[in-house]
A and B are shown apart, each in its own frame.
Chain A
Amino acid sequence: MTALPVQAAAAAPEAAPFPLVPPEYPILTFEGGDHALTDQLLAPLHGVGVVWWTLLALSGAGATLFLFCIWYTFAKGIGTWGNNIPVAWAFAITDFVWWIGIGHAGTFISAFLLLLNQRWRASINRIAEAMTIFALVNAALFPVLHLGRPWFFYWLIPYPATMGVWPNFKSALPWDVAAVATYFTVSLLFWYVGLVPDLATARDHLTSRVARRVYGIVALGWRGSSTQWRQHRVAYVLLAAIATPLVISVHSVVSLDFSIAQVPGWHSTIFPPYFVVGAIYSGFAMVLLLVLPLRRAYRLEQVITERHLDAMAKLTLVMGLMLAYAYAVEAFVSWYSGDPSERFMYLVERPFGTYAILYWIMMACNILTPQLFWWKRCRTSVPVLLGAGVAILVGMWLERFIIIVTSLHREFLASSWHFYKPTWVDLGLLGGSIALFVFLFLLFVRFVPFVAISEMKQLRHDLVANGGREIGLPDA
């Protein structure tokens, strides 16, 4: 939204604190009442069709492959993977960083946009939060699998052991454990607090006795009293305020795994903001891939309007531009540092070396794709958004692969240079984790109200009370 003072005077003469132009697309075009809205948003809880079962079977098969690869890794050891010294980190850490980055958009949409009073978030925040949780489930698995002896993962937790030793908190790895565990817990609490009123709606809307019992238990006896709503809103905003710095911190901490090392291509102060931007960027791409099919399947065009597509595309563009800036600064600083190893890594090895083809695919996916969103028609076109989402996710996975593998396979000593290639177990774990993610998301759609129903009702009534205009809407 650009601010044009002349138009704004005509549009909102009454009490706008600063000039505003009405947004181009309406935030909500649903024409029915609250009951019809509830019916539509709870439709999957009453039953699902053949497509859902087919997708569940397919993703279930993929998730089984994931379990098989995990079992194989445990049984045979880490040697079944392609990584070996000097490329000690490869697919597993790439997958870890990729998944945890995807999670970031969920918290961004639910917490940042709540604090900034972006009320369009209500249509998609629940989907994005679920995405965060399922992405974090995958993310948390990979470092554990990568430990070599994963059954000793609890050694990373400071508990009083008979051995008398403790984790070394000057290492980045316990930081990771703290950051990821906290992020997962806070995301889950935030999600559940927002969900309780909608679970109560599901309890009251469903007809089967068993379903009413189950939703009655998980809704904790919510009755929507004014006291409950008031405290609920306070807690929700508090959690948002807590989650906002958290989301910035998590990928910053992940980036420190790299930047506190001295490996060329890792040792850079721009890493924390650069990683956070890339994380939110890839997360938006995943939100697009989840929201658009769901919007189509459940005919949610009146709830998830062109406004949402447009806003998501604009945010994707902003993140893409910030990422392009980070790439440029990285390359410049490597040259400016005068360090031959850094210069070689950024200016020779990555663009023209072993994995150059992946580097250029990454550049095309991450830098060129979002430029489409300068055009309004692209911002609201479902095929373009889906294509861009896939391209960005591919690009962001490649980015982490390039950071990790190109840097390690050409370390300081030329005698230890090495060529890395993944094994079928590496590929099975990556593909299987995607399948597990889809599987969990399908279960979420079937059993959990996937749009924040009470927030949508509040938004609808606020819009009606405000004469359908978005300017001057009260805070959520």
Chain B
Amino acid sequence: MRDGRWPAGAYAAEFADERQFAGAVAALRDQGYTKIETYTPYPVARVDEVLSERPSVLPPLVFFAGIAGAAVGYWIQWFTNAVSYPLDIGGRPAHAAPAFFIPTFEATVLAASLAAFFGLFALLRLPRPWHPIFEADGFELASIDRYWIAIDATDSRSDRSMMRRALEELGPLRVVDVPGDG
């Protein structure tokens, strides 16, 4: 996560227009900044392309959680109905795979979706009610109609004064110093 920790703080810039904002992200990237993070009211595809990362680990996580759920679900039924307390009802087999299929399916779905849910919030390190970016004046509009860019002050591309100037040259509504959390 690019904004997980900001030990030395960050510089943040606010934009009102999506196109201008996306152009600004690309420009900073071209200048060699790597520790850039954006904050938008909705996912902006063009920024995603610029700031692309490794593929998400959620799909394999969910897949294996589903497999594990299926195994546990089937095992519970097999153990309870065929091993621990077999019921002979009209001579039907105690280990009844066709009947066990349905709860197994449900267990698969349940485990996979719990993995997707808790996996998502674990990956995002949420809940985290406070984050230094919330200290930026006017940041509450980032969930409404404004687009923000933040550069981690530890970015090795340039020193702090140059960082601020680089942001100002992109024509934002404002540039804000964000305190560190280290």
**Chain A residues with a Cβ under 8 A of chain B:** 33-35, 38, 158, 164-170, 174-175, 178-179, 181-182, 185-186, 189-190, 192-193, 197, 200-201, 203-205, 216-217, 220-235, 238-239, 242-243, 245-246, 249, 253, 256, 454-455, 457-458, 461, 474
Whole-angstrom CA separation of A31 from B66 in the bound complex: 44
Judging by beta carbons under 8 Å apart, are A224 and B1 in contact?
A: no
Q: Is B29 an interface residue (CB 8 A)?
A: no
Are A231 and B117 in contact (CB-based, < 8 A)?
A: no
| CB of B113 closer than 8 Å to a CB of A | yes
A158 touches B40 (CB 8 A): no
Chain B residues within 8 Å of A167, by CB: 80
Among A33, A227, A458, which residue has the most Cβ atoms of chain B within 10 A? Answer: A227
- Bound complex: CA A461 to CA B142 (Å): 16
Q: Give which listed residue, B18, B47, B81, contacts A226 with CB less than 8 A.
A: B47
User: Are the CB atoms of A217 and B129 closer together than 8 Å?
Assistant: yes
Residue of B nearest to A475 (CB): B45
**Do A220 and B80 have beta carbons less than 8 Å apart?**
no
The interface residues of chain B lying within 8 Å CB-to-CB of A256 are 102
A-B contact count (CB 8 A): 195
> A155 vs B1: C-alpha distance in the bound complex, in angstroms?
45
Residue interface mask B45-72, A partner, CB < 8 A = 1:
1011001010010110010001000000
* Range, interface on chain B: 35 or more
Which A residues touch B151, using CB under 8 A? none
Contacts of A186 in B (CB 8 A): 109-110, 113
CA distance A461 to B46 in the complex (A): 12
Q: Which residues of B contact A170 (CB under 8 A)?
A: 81, 87, 89, 92, 96, 99
Question: Is the pair A229, B43 in contact by a Cβ cutoff of 8 Å?
Answer: yes
- Interface contact B133-A223, CB-CB below 8 Å: yes
The distance in angstroms between the C-alpha atoms of A456 and B38, with both chains bound, is: 20
Q: Collect the chain B residues with CB atoms within 8 Å of residue A166's CB.
A: 80-81, 84-85
Whether the Cβ atoms of B103 and A178 lie closer than 8 Å is: yes
> In the bound complex, what is the Cα–Cα distance between A383 and B163 (angstroms)?
60
Docked CA distance A225–B1 (Å)? 9
B80 to chain A: closest residue by CB: A166
Residues of B within 8 A of A (CB): 1-3, 18, 37-45, 47-48, 51, 53, 56, 58-59, 62, 66, 76-77, 80-81, 84-85, 87, 89, 92, 96, 99-100, 102-103, 105-107, 109-110, 112-114, 116-117, 119-121, 123-124, 126-131, 133-134, 140-145
A221 touches B144 (CB 8 A): no
A168 and B81 CA atoms in complex are apart in Å by 7
Cα(A189)–Cα(B135), bound, Å = 30
In the complex, are the beta carbons of A226 and B38 less than 8 A apart?
A: yes
Name the B residues within 8 Å of A239 (CB-CB).
113, 116-117
What is the chain B residue whose CB lies nearest that of A227?
B1
What are the residues of chain A within 8 A of B117 when measuring CB–CB? 189, 192-193, 235, 239
**Across the interface, do B145 and A33 meet the contact criterion of CB distance under 8 Å?**
yes
Known: A235-B120, A242-B62. 15 other contacts (CB 8 A): A38-B145, A170-B92, A186-B110, A197-B42, A220-B121, A221-B126, A221-B130, A222-B126, A223-B134, A224-B39, A226-B51, A227-B53, A231-B120, A234-B56, A242-B116
Contact A169 B145 (CB under 8 A): no
**B109:A182 contact, CB within 8 angstroms:** yes
Q: For B133, list chain A residues within 8 Å (CB).
A: 223
Output the nearest chain B residue to A459 by Cβ-Cβ distance.
Answer: B42
Interface pair B113/A224, CB less than 8 Å apart: no
Q: Is A242 a contact of B120 with CB atoms below 8 Å? A: no
Q: How far, in angstroms, from A458 to B47 measured CA to CA in the complex?
A: 13
A216 with B129: CB separation less than 8 A: yes
Task: Please give me the residue from chain B that is nearest to A203 by CB atom.
Answer: B143
Known: A179-B106, A189-B114. A231 touches B123 (CB 8 A): yes
Chain A binding surface, main DSSP class:
helix
B43 x A238 contact (CB < 8 A): no
Q: For residue A194, give the distance in angstroms from its CB to the closest CB of chain B.
A: 11
Evaluate whether A242 and B80 lie within 8 angstroms (CB atoms) in the complex, with A33-B145, A225-B38, A232-B120 already known. Answer: no
Residues of A within 8 A of B42 (CB): 197, 224, 229, 454-455, 457-458, 461
Residue numbers in B under 8 Å from A461 (CB-CB): 18, 42
Of the candidates A169, A205, A224, A243, the one whose C-beta lies within 8 Å of that of B103 is A169
A359 to B144, CA, bound (A): 52
Q: Is the CB of A457 within 8 A of B41?
A: yes
CB distance from A225 to the nearest CB of B (A): 5
Q: Closest approach, in angstroms, between the C-beta of A438 and any C-beta of chain B?
A: 28
Residue numbers in B under 8 Å from A190 (CB-CB):
113
Nearest 10 A-B pairs (CB), nearest first?
A: A34-B145, A166-B80, A204-B140, A220-B127, A235-B120, A229-B43, A458-B42, A178-B106, A221-B128, A170-B99
Question: Which residues of the other chain, B, contact A164 by a CB distance below 8 angstroms?
Answer: 84-85
Considering the complex, give the chain B residue whose CB is closest to the CB of A230: B48
Contacts A/B (CB < 8 Å), 14 sampled: A158-B80, A167-B80, A186-B109, A221-B126, A223-B142, A225-B39, A227-B124, A231-B56, A231-B123, A235-B116, A235-B120, A242-B109, A249-B109, A454-B41
Q: Which residue of B lies closest to A234 (CB)?
A: B56
Residues from chain A with Cβ under 8 Å of B145 in the complex = 33-35, 38, 457
Q: How far is the CA of A220 from the CA of B84 in the complex (A)?
A: 43
Closest to B18 in A: A461
In Å, the complex CA distance between A216 and B114 comes to: 23
Partner of A224, one of B41, B107, B121: B41
Known A-B contacts A166-B85, A182-B106; the reply to A231 vs B124 at CB < 8 A is yes
Complex CA–CA separation, A186 to B114 (angstroms): 8
Contacts of B105 in A (CB 8 A): 245, 249
Q: Cα distance A165–B114 when bound, in Å?
A: 28
Chain A residues with CB under 8 A of B127 = 217, 220-221
List of A residues within 8 angstroms of B76 by Cβ: 158
Q: List the B side residues contacting A192 at CB < 8 Å.
A: 117
Measured in the bound complex, the distance between the Cα atoms of B72 and A158 in whole Å is 12
In the complex, A328 Cα to B144 Cα: how many Å?
52
